[in-house]
Amino acid sequence: MRTDLFDFDLPPECIALRPAEPRDSARLLLVRPNVGVEDHSVRDLPDLLAPGDQIVVNDTKVIAAQLSGRRIGGTSEPHIDVTLIKRIDGSRWQALVRPARKLSEGDVLRFGNEGRVCLLGNLDASVEAKGEAGEVTLAFAFHGPVLDQAIADLGAPPLPPYIASRRAPDDKDVGDYQTMFAKNEGAVAAPTAGLHFTPALEVALAARGVGIQRLTLHVGAGTFLPVKADDTDDHKMHSEWGTVSEETAKTLNEARAKGGRIVAVGSTSMRLLESAATEDGIIRPFTGETAIFITPGYKFRAVDVMMTNFHLPRSTLFMLVSAFSGLDTMRAAYAHAIAKGYRFYSYGDACLLFRDAGAAS
């Protein structure tokens, strides 16, 4: 499909720079294909679902993926900004660097200022490989948990560019940019639909008879990137690692067999569930990489309802929701949200999408 079909104008003032407080006070737009939209709040979620429905959240935990350092060992030591995007093994990460032109294979980067470093000293990394789009492979001097702690000590929250370009990250973002379900470290972007959940909402959902199940997908920085190709067929998705446990798969399959619906919280849960599902909609345990790219025409296998934030124009995420509820439906829903002052993107409001009958399995 043509990428420009997924474009729309968004006033800059619609972009949320801070989350709602409390989190479940955010607005929630109910979207039902061929029915219309309704304005709600996230606190209404239990009433919008039915007993036996199963919510699926992503329990990935965002690491402090923004590092600031310098190249050492040459005639000059230019400043280098690094965003970790994907773990390769215990000591190596794929990363985006700026300015990339200042680095060559074999260069050494040092993170941390003298006097304010991790317990084992400065954190050094060598440039093992360099790509064409500013991405590099960094081999760190530390390994495993020691490296994880060094990154946590020296890094900063990896706020999305549409927020970071308008204000600096601060200590408040350390908590704000993490869901209440965060447990398994490895993401460099938050599964932001999960940011709306609170313990009080969890209790209300349980009282309604709605279950909450967990899976893990480590979100990569590619989630922020617009599609630059003119046609969606020419876009290549970044792969991300995820896992669906045997217990979660069993619970979801049993609930669906009894008439309960599967409600994916966020595009990450959606993509992993669809990757784990068979042609007949049975969810299997899954561990590995997924690069599934969902665009209109995709036949959904596992997910019946989706809760998600409002996404960027021309993004893979807006393409996904358009596949789920219909492009015309989503364009109308976004126009309504903009007119009514909904807050967009990672710290913004949410919508609850019902699947278009044409997208059923």
CB atoms within 10 A of CB 160: 19
Determine the Cα–Cα distance for residues 6 and 48; give it in Å rounded to an integer. 28
pLDDT at 225 over 70: no
Q: Which CATH superfamily is domain 3-62+175-359 in?
A: QueA-like (3.40.1780.10)
Fold topology of 66-155: Thrombin, subunit H (2.40.10)
Beta strands in 141-248 (DSSP E): 184-187, 211-217, 240-244
231: its two tokens: 């046609």
Handedness of CA 290, 159, 179, 211 (dihedral sign): negative
Q: What is the mean pLDDT of residues 48-53?
A: 98
* Start and end residues for every CATH 2.40.10.240 domain found in the chain: 66-155
Q: Which residue reads 């060598």 in tokens?
A: 126
CA distance readout (Å), 239 to 88, 138, 223, 306, 328: 12, 18, 10, 21, 28
pLDDT band at 181; cut points 50, 70, 90: very high
pLDDT band at 116; cut points 50, 70, 90: very low
Helix (H), strand (E) at residue 119: none
Predicted pLDDT of residue 73: 84
Determine the Cα–Cα distance for residues 342 and 38; give it in Å rounded to an integer. 13
DSSP line for 165-190: TTS---HHHHHHTS-TT--EEEESS-
pLDDT band at 117; cut points 50, 70, 90: very low
Q: Of 343, 355, 225, which is closest to residue 293 (Cα–Cα)?
A: 225
DSSP line for 264-290: EEHHHHHHHHHHHB-TTSPBPPEEEEE
CB atoms within 10 A of CB 172: 11
Q: How far is CA 226 from the centre of its chain?
A: 14
- How does pLDDT run across 314-324, given as a tens digit for each residue? 999 999 999 99
- Beta 286-290 vs 123-130: how paired, if at all? unpaired
Predicted pLDDT of residue 115: 46
Q: Of 62, 66, 61, which is closest to residue 156 (Cα–Cα)?
A: 66
* DSSP-derived secondary structure letter, 302: S
* Start and end residues for every CATH 3.40.1780.10 domain found in the chain: 3-62+175-359
* DSSP-derived secondary structure letter, 248: H
Determine the Cα–Cα distance for residues 239 and 88; give it in Å rounded to an integer. 12
Helix (H), strand (E) at residue 138: strand 135-140
Helix (H), strand (E) at residue 146: helix 144-154
Between residues 34 and 117, which one has the greater pLDDT?
A: 34
Cβ atoms 15, 337 nearer than 8 A? no
Cβ atoms 273, 285 nearer than 8 A? no
Q: Of 169, 143, 136, 183, which is closest to residue 66 (Cα–Cα)?
A: 169
Determine the Cα–Cα distance for residues 222 and 81; give it in Å rounded to an integer. 17
List Cβ neighbours of 116 (8 Å cut-off, separation of 6 or more).
Answer: none
Q: What pTM value is reported for the model?
A: 0.90
- How does pLDDT run across 251-281, given as a tens digit for each residue? 999 999 999 999 999 999 999 999 999 999 9
For the chain, give the mean pLDDT: 92
Predicted pLDDT of residue 252: 98
Strand order in the sheet with 36-41: 36-41, 27-32, 350-354, 305-309, 262-265, 54-58, 211-217, 240-244, 286-290
Q: Is residue 313 packed enough to be buried (19+ CB in 10 Å), middle (13-18) or exposed (0-12)?
A: middle
